[in-house]
Structure 1
């Protein structure tokens, strides 16, 4: 269950905010890193000089500026969730759990392990994903998988609270993820998406190019009394890989 992933990782400290995320991690030790968008230089290069090789200071910085209206509205929803549904709800803990669930489910999709998605993804969505994934070329399938260490940025999107005709209560939270992949994808197939390339060059002149792709996962939980506290993924989008 997705809830199992949330319970396992919910107590980990969150490294994300809505406004700024800094990855204080050396992508490649004593290497050069540059960030390109669609092949064009977009950011400065980070070097480790001879004096700095003992303590390289390379980092990737992703800055996100949220829509003030959406930011305020989601804060109201978080308050309502804590007040009327789950007093222990924390968006920071939820975000960390969603990140782990995203990595796990994306790997299963990449490997076409659709039976393993039972209990994690809504049943009606699994069939649609199977139909799309089985016809994908191998490089597209590889690009679906997001390793935890390659997830650069995670942020909550829209939040919804609704009731059905039978009085059942639901909460849905849309999550957006940005992650790196070294899958070889043709540029023309990704038209209309925001594509960045990260070139990593080692001291021997070897260069590896990675793309920064986006994914949207929607998590839904029923809060009706007596219903297990499980979050289910009800929507999955990966750039244009699953179109």
Structure 2
């Protein structure tokens, strides 16, 4: 089964360090302490948070999250070479921007299936051997942790490509893998002591009201076989949710 908008062994290290995370307008940092953010591959990005309405005029406003990083020029350039190789030797229509958008949709869909323990629905989307492992872990999670696995599309704050892999197996089959990192908000109630390294925010819903949300991270790796005659489908071969699926 193909993910929407995703077309289509040298491992690249992370390209950037996430140096600052700012939430503008009615998003206020509540908990102290520093995070240990995952690497990012963009110098800066701005993404809309779920809109809220004020009591006066019911005019929708949008909150923003800004991610600022300091790029490593050498790694940035090398990553682009890998994208060029994919377009040249595997898929002429490949676009990392289009892939990123499709990966974001796939992440939201699969995370919701995991949250609901709908493991049969993961077939064709997630590698078979990984589904069994996820089922074992998810069945042991309390309900609030399961809820935190789900990432609604409008709660995804930031999406960025990570490592890129191009490799062949002993039979000459060709594969490309792209690791994606996601930052998303959740309103699930999670114990602070077990979620070290995350930040808690007060998100304005209406004037005079605020909802507590926590910023979580997830890593999903997408792999596609480019051997001639094989369906052009991407499949998820790795899933990690910070502090939830350890």
Pairwise TM-score range, normalised by the shorter structure: 0.7 to 0.9
Equivalent pair of 1:62/1:152 in contact (CA under 8 Å): no
Rounded to whole Å, the distance in 2 between the matches of 1:112 and 1:55 is 34
Partner residue in 2 for 1:169: 174
Specify which structure has the higher proportion of strand: 2
Q: Is the 8 A contact 2:130 2:238 kept in 1?
A: yes
Deviation at 1:128, TM superposition (A): 0.2
Q: Which residue of 1 aligns with 2:213?
A: 210
Provide the aligned C-alpha RMSD in A.
2.4
Asked if 1:200 corresponds to 2:200, the answer is no
1:32-47 residue pairs with structure 2 within 5 A?
none
Q: 1:103, CA displacement in angstroms?
A: 0.2
Greater share of residues in helix: 1
What residue number does 1:23 align with?
A: 47
1:53-64, aligned counterparts within 5 Å? Answer: 56=61, 58-64=63-69
Partner of 1:125: 130
Instruction: Indicate if the aligned counterparts of 2:180 and 2:220 stay in contact, CA closer than 8 A.
Output: yes
1:115 corresponds to which of 120, 145, 165: 120
Secondary structure (helix, strand or coil) at the match of 1:5 reads coil
Deviation at residue 73 of structure 1 after TM alignment: 1.9
The separation in 2 between residues aligned to 1:54 and 1:131, in whole angstroms, is 45
The yes-or-no answer on 1:103 pairing with 2:127 is: no
Contact 1:171 1:222 in 2 (8 A): yes
**Cα contact 2:160–2:181 (8 A) shared by 1:** yes
Partner of 2:86: 81
Q: Which residue is equivalent to 1:223? A: 226
* Aligned partners of 2:51 and 2:61 also within 8 Å: no
Name structure 2 gaps, 5 residues minimum.
9-40
Is residue 168–residue 224 contact of structure 1 (8 Å, CA) maintained in 2?
yes
Q: 1:161-191 CA deviation, whole Å, 9 max, x = no partner?
A: 0000000000000000000000011111112
Mapped to 1, the partners of 2:207 and 2:86 lie a distance apart of: 53
Distance 1:26 1:125, change over 3 A: closer
What SS class does the counterpart of residue 125 from structure 2 fall into? Answer: coil
Find the counterpart in structure 2 of residue 6 from structure 1.
5
Give the distance between the partners of 2:174 and 2:190, measured in 1 at CA: 42
Q: 1:26 to 1:123 in 2, by over 3 A?
A: closer
SS of aligned partner of 1:6: coil
SS at structure 1 position matched to 2:180:
strand
